[in-house]
């Protein structure tokens, strides 16, 4: 068995076994090597919960003794670690797997068959709804008429009564009543948090009395931290609080100062969405009573418990713990509906909330011509502006019914999901390379000993055998090859991300200045991670999900151990340089030449006529551009174009030509069409690998595109645009950019729908719409470059020498021959060249081919499409994995090109056999990607 990056696991000289024994069920895994130092407050957590965790507490000396015993114990083989028997052994007492009503596999088969071979591990992002929930909801809607609840007719009364029943059901779910709490429906937990910030009875600074404080735990969601924008506008001071500060003696307020009634608000998560740690619910009463204090200040504390993450897998008893505000989002619990949440407000604070705006349904009476307004007496009706999302609220009833029927309740879900996370954590903590280095670094605030302390979230980074972090983007990309769905980045929790990754405030600011923003794929800067990988289990998760994930970690080659090329390290300087000037304009032709730059003059003329003249290539078209300065190549053969491909239909098969017209959007007809689903969303080979079997052929003489596929009769569409009024004009998106398209008709839609077995249509980009990409002149002035339906740039170029180098590596791993032509086709380039040195194209800033001039605008960051065999549509993970390890854990291959001004008055023809004249970049650095979107050739 080969480990990450091909590193072998070792035990006593034998391979295929792990380097250290996992802890026994009653033992706590060591944090050594995980890179996540214990927080000071963690000891306090155990102290606070001493009454509930009696018998589980262990002294530091005992823990050290257990760790020594673990290291001396003989490790089981990895096959045993992945067995269900071992999973059962590591389940803590009282924690069960599955539910009493049938098997987990039976539930997955009946309720979640749509998952297929998917391993979904982002339940903290959203739960997945069961099929029966959707069916019962739609049956309800088909049998009942639900009117606007603000009306008084029969259908409206039915809606109002049903909503009130759902309010009762929500209160019942949290073991409370309408006497203690009010349900205010919102669009989600974020809207609920915003509502609290806007209506809390703040006492601002400078009014001659003690002022309010807004405090929040640094391990809080962005939406909590964002409340400080509202409080700042109200002249209220915001104070971030670390977990250890809560239990600090220095913050205690003397009893004589606790009579001050200035209202303060403290917000903290019941469960961290980063690490899954469950913060003590006992804090609520202890802070309200003055036993604990977030900061040292006199006044009355109110508590907002952010329960959005917590309640997805854990029961919340509001009879035992009574915060003042509890925001939730229902999709976190049921998966459906989305865009609906609630704020549970303690009725003791509700009368003091201040609301200035009033919308439809919230007013008992008002005057339009005079400043007079009387609110409704009901707290819910006073705060629910406008008509609530009543059909979605009705869906909640079926959500509660389904959850109870399938699982038996939240206590069962808590134990089930913890069993899976405990097992996964235990095995991950065990895995090591043969040299003793850990395979993952887990970012945890607990030892996963109890479901009362830890939620079903595991946050980590994968390491290579040298201890270096493998970027989260790389892990995510390889996981997708195995159809494993994880989440990466900082998870809208910068505070926890900083804490666990040891990022200072200045580090975060420097990374931002360098071009890294939340949600992008810039995962390593200056050798340090900017984020991590998170897996999370939900009520539908199974042992097989955990097992599949662990097999992926063990078996996947993510390491750089067998790299043969230097790692492409991203630095702040190179990213910043790319952000400031994506295209370098001053270049060195050779070591002795002076600086020289080509002028970027992009034509702004209309899209070339699709019925252009017949192609021809006079000998003069191979003339060298006067402006191009060839790279000095002592004794080397000339670089020439060996292949030209266009892809008329995005994500479909290539159409190879020996010469072809070039216009202001690239090759004529390249990616002018694309296949979309019934919602108008582009379908790529990622969703439908069979698209690679669709063969479009351009017939210039007949002015048609013939489309072929095995088992289907050929069909054709005209090359000339149909501008008739009956043509349906629509909007679509390519890589988040809006494009205007028109539909190619029912006949072609039926052809593709039959081929793919799903509803889809063929659309074409309208020539009246210009999709532009901004580039820059050498003087920093923006230039608009026109694009077709390509993802990033007009052309993609690859080098045969680079292909051959990669082919050698892949063939070695596949242990079978690989035709060069097949590998070329996988990379879906427009231009293939024959350079002498592999990857030398990445050192170029500009090139000229015949009369055509191009600017290099960045590398192509590859995705799983290169794993699809263009001849069969079958996937093979080895291609992306080999590229990753060969290129130093990056997946760059090929370069993007954009048209420059014509170098001469010669015809705009690209021809096979034409000589390529590159211009070297000054620094030889590979440019950063064009954007933070994932780049593919489409």
Residues 203, 204, 205, 207: what is their CA dihedral angle, to the nearest 10 degrees?
A: -70
Nearest-angstrom CA–CA distance, 216 and 200: 15
pTM of the full predicted structure?
0.76
- Which segments of 186-330 does DSSP mark as H helices, in order? 189-199, 222-225, 227-233, 243-246, 283-288
Contact by Cβ (8 Å): 909, 662: yes
Q: What is the pLDDT of residue 404?
A: 96
Residues 6 or more apart in contact with residue 26 via CB below 8 angstroms = 92
Q: What is the pLDDT of residue 586?
A: 31
Between strands 440-442 and 14-15, the pairing is unpaired
Residues 6 or more apart in contact with residue 858 via CB below 8 angstroms = 578, 582, 792, 793, 895, 896, 927, 928, 929, 930
pLDDT classification of 486: cutoffs 50, 70, 90:
very high
pLDDT average, residue stretch 341-352? 97
pLDDT classification of 778: cutoffs 50, 70, 90:
very low
Q: What is the pLDDT of residue 421?
A: 98
* Phi, psi dihedrals of residue 263, rounded to the nearest 5°: -80, 130
Let me know the angle formed at the C-alpha of 891 by 532 and 2, rounded to the nearest 5 degrees. 75
Q: What is the pLDDT of residue 886?
A: 82
Contact by Cβ (8 Å): 210, 260: yes
Q: What is the pLDDT of residue 923?
A: 58
Other residues' Cβ atoms within 10 Å of the Cβ of residue 84? 12
Contact by Cβ (8 Å): 171, 177: yes
Note the pLDDT tens digit of each residue in 196-227: 999 999 999 877 778 999 999 999 999 999 99
Q: Which of 78, 34, 115 is nearest to 555 (CA)?
A: 78
Nearest-angstrom CA–CA distance, 141 and 768: 43
Between strands 300-306 and 263-269, the pairing is parallel
Please give the structure tokens belonging to residue 396.
Answer: 């909640």
pLDDT average, residue stretch 273-277? 98
Residue 748 has pLDDT above 50, yes or no: yes
pLDDT average, residue stretch 443-448? 96
Nearest-angstrom CA–CA distance, 798 and 781: 29
Residues 6 or more apart in contact with residue 410 via CB below 8 angstroms = 173, 311, 313, 314, 315, 316
Between strands 892-899 and 737-743, the pairing is unpaired
Other residues' Cβ atoms within 10 Å of the Cβ of residue 450? 19
pLDDT average, residue stretch 708-717? 95
Contact by Cβ (8 Å): 225, 508: no
Please give the structure tokens belonging to residue 864.
Answer: 């799983």
**Residue 616: which H helix or E strand, with range?**
none
pLDDT classification of 521: cutoffs 50, 70, 90:
confident
Other residues' Cβ atoms within 10 Å of the Cβ of residue 729? 12
Please give the structure tokens belonging to residue 6.
Answer: 């091909």
Nearest-angstrom CA–CA distance, 709 and 752: 10
Note the pLDDT tens digit of each residue in 128-138: 999 999 999 99
Pairwise pLDDT comparison (884 vs 315), residue with the higher score = 315
Residue 365 buriedness (CB in 10 A; 0-12 / 13-18 / 19+): exposed
Name the catalytic one among 215, 267, 492, 692: 492
Q: What is the pLDDT of residue 206?
A: 79
Residues 6 or more apart in contact with residue 482 via CB below 8 angstroms = 119, 548, 552, 556, 877
Could you report how far apart the first and last alpha carbons of the chain are, in Å?
Answer: 35
pLDDT average, residue stretch 632-652? 84
Which three-class secondary structure state does DSSP give residue 370?
coil
pLDDT classification of 627: cutoffs 50, 70, 90:
very low
% of the chain surpassing 70 pLDDT? 76
Q: What is the pLDDT of residue 766?
A: 80
Least confident of 263-277, 510-524, 728-742, 844-858: 728-742
pLDDT average, residue stretch 712-740? 70
Pairwise pLDDT comparison (334 vs 361), residue with the higher score = 334
Note the pLDDT tens digit of each residue in 871-905: 888 888 888 888 888 887 788 899 999 987 555 55
Per the rule left: phi > 0, alpha: psi between -120 and 50, beta: everything else, 214 is beta
Extended strands (E) in 270-389: 300-306, 325-329, 341-346, 363-367, 372-375
Q: Which domains does the chain have, with CATH numbers?
A: 78-100+412-559 (3.90.1150.10), 147-407 (3.40.640.10), 646-765 (no CATH), 795-920 (no CATH)
pLDDT average, residue stretch 659-688? 89
Nearest-angstrom CA–CA distance, 170 and 155: 23
Please give the structure tokens belonging to residue 786.
Answer: 């026109």
Which three-class secondary structure state does DSSP give residue 151?
coil
Nearest-angstrom CA–CA distance, 737 and 760: 21
Nearest-angstrom CA–CA distance, 889 and 372: 66
Extended strands (E) in 403-559: 440-442, 457-463, 469-470, 484-485, 487-489, 524-525, 528-529, 532-536
* Phi, psi dihedrals of residue 169, rounded to the nearest 5°: -65, -35
pLDDT average, residue stretch 353-380? 92
* Distances 402 to 104, 106, 129, 378 between C-alpha atoms, Å: 15, 15, 9, 30
Note the pLDDT tens digit of each residue in 760-773: 999 998 876 555 55
Least confident of 283-297, 434-448, 575-589, 595-609: 595-609
pLDDT average, residue stretch 316-325? 98
Residue 536 has pLDDT above 90, yes or no: yes
249-277 as b/e: b if 16+ CB within 10 A: eeeebeeeeeeeebbbbbbbbbbbbbbbb
Q: Which of 395, 369, 343, 319 is nearest to 134 (CA)?
A: 395
Token pair 């006992």: residue: 282
Is 867 annotated in the active site? no
Other residues' Cβ atoms within 10 Å of the Cβ of residue 335? 23
* Distances 304 to 292, 294, 831 between C-alpha atoms, Å: 15, 13, 59
Nearest-angstrom CA–CA distance, 707 and 695: 6
Q: What is the pLDDT of residue 472?
A: 94
pLDDT classification of 455: cutoffs 50, 70, 90:
very high
Q: What is the pLDDT of residue 728?
A: 60
Residue 603 has pLDDT above 50, yes or no: no
Residues 696, 700, 701, 704: what is their CA dihedral angle, to the nearest 10 degrees?
A: 40
Cα–chain center distance at 805? 32
Note the pLDDT tens digit of each residue in 559-595: 444 333 233 344 544 444 433 333 233 332 232 222 2
Indicate the DSSP class of residue 658.
Answer: S
Least confident of 58-62, 72-76, 391-395, 917-921: 58-62
Residue 629 has pLDDT above 70, yes or no: no
pLDDT average, residue stretch 174-196? 97
Q: What is the pLDDT of residue 223?
A: 97
Residue 681 has pLDDT above 90, yes or no: no
Q: What is the pLDDT of residue 514?
A: 87
Q: What is the pLDDT of residue 768?
A: 62
Q: What is the pLDDT of residue 10?
A: 33
């Amino acid at each position: 068995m080969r480990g990450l990056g091909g590193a072998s696991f070792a035990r006593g000289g034998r391979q295929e076994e792990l380097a250290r024994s996992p802890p026994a069920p009653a033992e706590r895994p060591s944090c050594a090597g995980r890179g996540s130092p214990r927080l000071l407050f963690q000891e306090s957590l155990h102290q606070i919960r001493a009454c509930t965790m009696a018998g589980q507490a262990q002294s530091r000396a005992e823990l050290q003794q257990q760790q020594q015993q673990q290291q001396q114990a003989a490790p089981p083989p990895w096959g045993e670690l992945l067995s269900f028997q071992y999973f059962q052994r590591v389940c803590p007492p009282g924690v069960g797997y599955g539910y009493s009503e049938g098997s987990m596999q039976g539930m997955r088969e009946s309720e979640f068959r749509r998952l297929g071979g998917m391993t979904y591990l982002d339940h903290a992002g959203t739960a997945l709804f069961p099929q029966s929930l959707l069916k019962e909801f739609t049956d309800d809607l088909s049998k009942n008429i639900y009117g606007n609840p603000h009306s008084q007719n029969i259908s409206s009364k039915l809606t109002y009564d049903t909503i009130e029943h759902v309010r009762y059901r929500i209160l019942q779910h949290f073991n409370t009543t309408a006497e203690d709490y009010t349900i205010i429906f919102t669009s989600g937990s974020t809207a609920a948090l915003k509502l609290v910030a806007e209506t809390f009875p703040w006492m601002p600074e400078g009014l001659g009395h003690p002022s309010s404080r807004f405090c929040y735990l640094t391990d809080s969601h962005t939406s909590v931290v964002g409340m400080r924008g509202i409080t700042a506008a109200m002249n209220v001071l915001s104070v971030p609080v670390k977990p250890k500060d809560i239990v600090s003696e220095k913050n205690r307020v003397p009893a004589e100062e606790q009579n001050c009634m200035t209202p303060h608000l403290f917000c903290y998560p019941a469960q961290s969405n980063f690490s899954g740690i469950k913060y003590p619910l006992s804090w609520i009463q202890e802070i309200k009573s003055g036993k604990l204090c977030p900061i040292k200040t006199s006044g009355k504390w109110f508590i907002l418990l952010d329960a959005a993450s917590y309640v997805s897998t854990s029961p919340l008893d509001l009879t035992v713990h009574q915060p003042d505000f509890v925001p939730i989002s229902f999709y976190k619990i049921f998966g459906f509906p989305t865009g609906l949440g609630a704020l549970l407000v303690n009725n003791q604070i509700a009368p003091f909330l201040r609301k200035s705006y009033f919308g439809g349904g919230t007013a008992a009476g008002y005057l339009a011509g005079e400043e007079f307004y009387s609110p409704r007496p009901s707290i819910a009706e006073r705060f629910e502006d406008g008509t609530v999302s009543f059909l979605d609220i009705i869906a909640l009833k079926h959500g509660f019914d389904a959850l109870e029927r399938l699982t038996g309740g939240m206590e069962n879900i808590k134990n089930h999901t913890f069993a899976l996370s405990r097992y996964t954590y235990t095995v991950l903590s065990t895995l090591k390379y043969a040299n003793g280095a850990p395979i993952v670094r887990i970012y945890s605030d607990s030892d996963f000993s109890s479901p009362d302390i830890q939620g079903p979230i595991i946050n980590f980074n994968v390491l290579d055998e040298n201890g270096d972090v493998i970027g989260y983007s790389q892990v995510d990309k390889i996981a997708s090859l195995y159809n494993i769905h994880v989440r990466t980045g900082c998870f809208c929790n910068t505070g926890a991300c900083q804490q666990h990754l040891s990022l200072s405030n200045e580090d975060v600011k420097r990374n931002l200045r360098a071009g890294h923003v939340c949600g992008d794929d810039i995962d390593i800067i200056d050798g340090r991670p900017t984020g991590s990988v998170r897996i999370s289990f939900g009520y539908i998760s199974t042992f097989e999900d955990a097992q599949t994930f662990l097999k992926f970690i063990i078996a996947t080659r993510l390491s750089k151990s067998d790299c043969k090329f230097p790692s492409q390290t991203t630095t702040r300087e190179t990213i910043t340089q790319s952000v400031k000037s994506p295209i370098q304009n001053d270049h060195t032709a050779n070591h002795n030449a002076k600086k020289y730059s080509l002028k970027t003059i992009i034509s702004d003329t209309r899209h070339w006529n699709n019925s252009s003249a017949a192609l021809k290539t006079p000998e003069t078209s191979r003339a060298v551009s006067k402006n191009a300065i060839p790279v000095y190549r002592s004794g080397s053969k000339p670089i020439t174009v060996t292949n030209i491909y266009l892809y008329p239909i995005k994500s479909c098969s290539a159409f190879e030509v020996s010469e072809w017209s070039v216009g202001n959007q690239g090759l004529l007809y390249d990616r002018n069409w694309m296949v979309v689903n019934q919602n108008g969303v582009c379908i790529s080979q990622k969703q439908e690998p069979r698209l690679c079997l669709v063969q479009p052929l351009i017939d210039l003489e007949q002015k048609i595109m013939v489309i072929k596929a095995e088992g289907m009769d050929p069909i054709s569409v005209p090359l000339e645009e149909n501008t008739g009024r009956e043509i349906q004009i629509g909007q679509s998106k390519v890589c988040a950019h809006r494009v205007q398209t028109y539909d190619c008709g029912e006949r072609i839609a039926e052809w593709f729908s039959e081929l793919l077995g799903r509803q889809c249509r063929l659309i074409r980009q309208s020539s009246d719409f210009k999709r532009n990409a901004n580039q820059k002149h050498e003087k920093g002035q923006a230039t608009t470059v026109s694009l077709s339906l390509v993802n990033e740039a007009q052309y993609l170029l690859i080098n045969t020498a680079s292909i051959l180098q990669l082919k050698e590596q892949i063939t070695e791993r596949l242990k079978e021959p690989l035709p060069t032509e097949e590998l070329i086709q996988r990379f879906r380039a427009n231009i293939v060249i024959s350079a002498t040195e592999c990857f030398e194209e990445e050192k170029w800033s500009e090139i000229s081919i015949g009369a055509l001039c191009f600017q290099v605008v960045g590398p192509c960051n590859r995705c799983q499409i290169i794993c699809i065999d263009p001849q069969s549509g079958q996937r093979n993970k080895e291609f992306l994995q080999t590229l990753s390890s060969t290129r130093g854990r990056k997946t760059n291959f090929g370069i993007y090109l954009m048209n420059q001004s014509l170098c001469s008055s010669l015809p705009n023809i690209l021809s096979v056999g034409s000589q390529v004249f590159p211009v070297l970049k000054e620094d030889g650095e590979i440019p950063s990607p064009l954007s933070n979107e994932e780049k593919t050739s489409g």
